[in-house]
Amino acid sequence: MVLTIWLNLLVNIWFMIHTDTEKTILQAAKTVFYKKGLAAARMQEIADEANINKAMLHYYFRSKEKLFGAVFLQAFGELAPFLNSIFNSDKPVFEKIREFVDGYITFVVDNPYLPTFIIQEMNINPQFGETFFRNHVTPDPSKFEEQIAREIEHGNIRPIDPKQLVLNLISLTAFPFVGKGLVIGILDLDEIAFKTLMEERKKLIPEMIINTIKVQ
């Protein structure tokens, strides 16, 4: 009886240590990837950031790509349910547009390499997108598209393909991050100025879209 209790206690302690170590590694990886990006980051730097040795890091994650993938899945796992909560809510279309833009920009500012990682993986491995979107929870705007169609039918929104409206939302919010280097170069921005510009877009993008489609 006593032996069983001690074994259960040891198992629970091991599980807590294992979980805490993995969380520490993921947070350290996120920090390093944020500073240097996927290509320039090194596993030793991540191990140092997590205050563990490189051997232990490789025990949990055998390669930098697998570790980045874990960071990506963790981040995307937070984004998809949030966006779906907007798409599937009963709020008015214009309010959803504002919430989408604000939420997406806030999320990507905290996870700046997520859009680039998705594009990179899809270019390197064309099956990545198909496999990922088939096996994981992803944003589903279908209910939002149906709502847009109804608002058009009721005369509250100018005629527009709902998919085009969703595409406008995605492209206007995502491009500055996917093409960050280009944006910073052309507009001559530093990191602080770029983030300030993104904060301004939280209000600019919704009002621009709403003013375009709203029936006066």
Phi, psi of 52 (to 5 degrees): -130, 170
- Average pLDDT for residues 198-206, to the nearest whole number? 96
- Average pLDDT for residues 4-9, to the nearest whole number? 44
Confidence class for position 135, pLDDT limits 50, 70, 90: low
Confidence class for position 11, pLDDT limits 50, 70, 90: very low
Q: Tokens 């920090």 correspond to what residue?
A: 31
What is the pTM (predicted TM-score) of this model? 0.74
Q: Is 131 left (phi over 0), alpha (psi -120 to 50) or beta?
A: alpha
pLDDT of residue 97 exceeding 80? yes
**Cα separation, 34 vs 115, whole angstroms:** 12
3-state secondary structure of 216: coil
What average pLDDT does the structure give for the chain? 84
For each of the domains in the chain, give its residue range(s) and CATH number, in order of start. Answer: 1-62 (1.10.10.60), 64-213 (1.10.357.10)
Higher pLDDT, 11 or 162: 162
pLDDT of residue 7 exceeding 50? no
